Amino acid sequence: MTVERYVSTLELDAKAEATPWARRHVRDVLRAWQVADENIDTTELAVCELVSNAVQHVAPETPHAHVTLTLRHDDSQLIAEVADPSNRPPVANAAMSGDAEGGRGLFIVGEISKEWDYYLLPTGGKVVWCIIGLA
């Protein structure tokens, strides 16, 4: 049985500024948890992609929306969760043209994490999550 050692939650406005705040939060929290730098970098990238995706798809639908970032740490992995008010499932675009400006976020998350998925919340909205294995 795996026991969570640490949990951190941050609520952000669903605006472009959410991504740099999420990045800073990940870096500060994971350093405090004494996570190795390479795992911090990987988690930071995954979280930035998840938050950016949530903001991009939620902000036009729901004015004044929020996204919530939750980080969980146990003995062998980090779990990053991003909750948003949209019920639309996330879509990973694997085949993109080289000059496309977007659409790679969940593909990247899938490549750098052990796994990712999402679930709908009973109160509405969804949580997209990924697991980063610790070195």
User: What domain count does the chain have?
Assistant: 1
pLDDT tens digits, one per residue of 79-91: 999 999 999 998 8
Which whole number is the average pLDDT over 11-34?
Answer: 96
Q: Is 83 exposed, middle or buried (0-12, 13-18, 19+ CB in 10 A)?
A: buried
- Each residue's pLDDT tens digit, 24-67: 999 999 999 999 999 999 999 999 999 999 998 886 667 789 99
d(CA 26, CA 61) in angstroms, rounded, equals 27
Residues 72 and 4: their CA atoms lie apart, in Å, by 7
Q: What is the residue range of 123's domain?
A: 4-133
Residue predicted with more confidence, 91 or 117: 117
- The answer, yes or no, to whether residue 1 has pLDDT greater than 60, is no
C-alpha–C-alpha distance, residues 66 and 62, integer Å: 9
Q: What CATH number has the domain bearing residue 62?
A: 3.30.565.10
Q: What does the mean pLDDT of the chain come to?
A: 89
Residue 22 structure tokens: 């999420």
